[in-house]
Structure 1
Amino acid sequence: MGFGTEAGWGADRETSFAIMEAFANAGGNFLDTANLYKLGTSEKFIGEFINPRDRDYFVIATKYSLKDNTTNPNASGNNRKNMMRSVELSLRRLQTDFIDVLYLHIWDDLTPIDEVLRGIDDLIRQGKVNYAAISDTPAWIVSKGNTLAELMGWSQFIALQVEYSLIQRTPERDLIPMARHFGMTVTPWAPLAGGALTGKYLRGGQGRVKPESNRRDENSIRITQEVMAVADRLGVEPSHVALQWTRQQGFECIPIVGATRVDQLEENLKSVDLVLSPDDLKKLDEASAIDLGFPGKFFREDGVRQNSYGGFYDRIIPRS
């Protein structure tokens, strides 16, 4: 999202290339972007970087839905017309014949989900897309879509991208149990809550998260302080703890880490060397616990867990 300097922030071409080079040298090969990021500049930079390299080594994910042409009334939404138009433009910017993972970026509350799935399935059959995925969409819609796809023989959604972090755990109410049921990989955006979980704001640092944001409210500060305490005890950075927490949730989870400087990427990559102990996970879970609401909270009541459903919810979200 930060490749390009449109809107007054982000990484220029040279810095973006240096970030991707450092990522590739570290063994990284999964790049996540979108048609709208930096008005298309992100896709252009990625395409220019990968074009002289081994395309098959990289897994490129991009998204469609959000408007990328304000003069065209058809250049937005989940509909098939916009999907086909957007994918063709993304292929040109990315300088590739195919997109590995195509996400529906955000639900428009208008297009029938079967239209979306049939459209992506057609793109997959044409060889322009390898896998279907979905982002920022209610669990019941994703469930309906994957069930329809199974019945119709279409390609199902294989990944779910939602905001998920120690500060934002509400997807545990239904989105993540749904993803686990369908075997979908979760690819959280903002796993560091816009940098709040690095502790930089508590240390007086500056960033794009405004003081009035809920990422910097009393509850978020308390969670961040616990992250910093665990990090201090382990001798690592708070970002390592926050990122590794997402990777140790008991389901397939690949946090999407944004970087506008090489040193940010290099620091975040160190999280793969960390393993949080059960005690560390418990402290973090307790500090960031949310009210699951009904029926999740009801399922956790001792009497219900012991006498009724046999611990189903504990198996879906083991520690919450």
Structure 2
Amino acid sequence: MKKMYLSCLLLTSLFINAQTDIDAIMMSKNNLCAGAVYQHSSWDQYWEGSFKRTNLNLGDVSTQSVAIMGNYGISDKLNFIFSAPYVKTKASAGTMKGQEGIQDLSLTLKYMPIEKTVNKNTYSVYVLGSYSTPLSDYTADYLPLSLGLKSKTGTLRLMGDYQRDHFSTTLSAAYVKRSNIIIERNSYLTNHEVIYSNEVAMPDAISVNFRTGYRSNRLIAEFIIDNWVTQKGGFNITKNNMPFPSNTMNAIRYGVYSKYTLKKIPALSILGGYNYVAEGKNIGQSKAIYAGLFYIINFEKKSNESEQ
């Protein structure tokens, strides 16, 4: 099961980035899973600190994105994952103009040091290291319509997985280290003081993800809970003001995810899902739907044919 042919997941919300690393499936050696995911998310209510409100100057804020993703099996226990989304934002009311362009490149190494089967129970442990960096010179200080936060990030994730027959449960936790960013003004206001600088210290974050459901060679169907918690250094949106890149942005999201591998074309898979923000702080109560297509290229087979 852990050497399943496909290992591709979903593009999540703008601030949580692409989640191509937190499934408990590894690509086989010399196999490349590549494809694209389209996502549409929107919200008309958001949390200003802990206060939930609407804003008639924004109306319905929507984000569309198409992410190119890939997962290559360096070995059966080591995978290299990449993703790069093209993002478009829009507000249905007011004078703020939406943004459009390439967001951030994410690179991940995923390693499975432990996989042990006892009777019918399989236990696995994964270690993941990720790095992301902006691919374009977009404006971070234009929330909630910015393409991203423009911070370079480093992420370390530890993940454990349990599977018995077709039932599976996966739990992972990650620490996200974020670099400072430069904005196009010389001062900004926090909850406590005015900062006379164009450099913004970005708070780190912790992400916890739980997923459980059905997993087979042909079908995956999972229920997902995701919790994103900003660490020390963030602050709330000031009253009746725009969000700011270093705001505390917390979110608890619930969702469902499924992936089906075609019987007649086993290298092709279709995936889709839905998620929504149930609780949050300084973030929109978004609902998102996504769908994608992925195809497997087996370089091992081509290499063997070439040698013969």
Using structure 2 for the length normalisation, give the TM-score.
0.26
Structure with the greater relative contact order (CA < 8 A, sep ≥ 6): 1 or 2?
A: 2
Structure holding more helix per residue = 1
